[in-house]
Amino acid sequence: MNTKLVDSLFQVILSLSEEERSLLEEKLFFNSSYPSTPEIMQVAQKSKAFEFLHNEPNLYTLEDGEPV
């Protein structure tokens, strides 16, 4: 194990600004193999897979149920 390298990287990370740390976290933890939520929403909207819901009756209102 290269502990010197790990220590050096740790020091560099500590020296980063908040903006730089956020960018680093995004690069490290963002898995681009999955579509994002907005991308999924766009696909669902364009595919018209849920168009049938426009013809369904509105069964619920804001007044239904108990407030949370």
Sign of torsion, CA 32 34 38 40? positive
Residue 29 has pLDDT above 90, yes or no: no
**pLDDT grade for 2, boundaries at 50, 70 and 90:** very high
Note the pLDDT of residue 66.
80
Residue 22 CA to residue 25 CA, distance in Å, equals 5
Alpha carbon of 10 to those of 5, 19, 38, 59: distances in Å?
A: 8, 17, 34, 56
Instruction: Give 34's DSSP letter.
Output: S
pTM beyond cutoff 0.75: no
- Average pLDDT, stretch 4-19? 95
Contact 24, 13 (CB under 8 A): yes
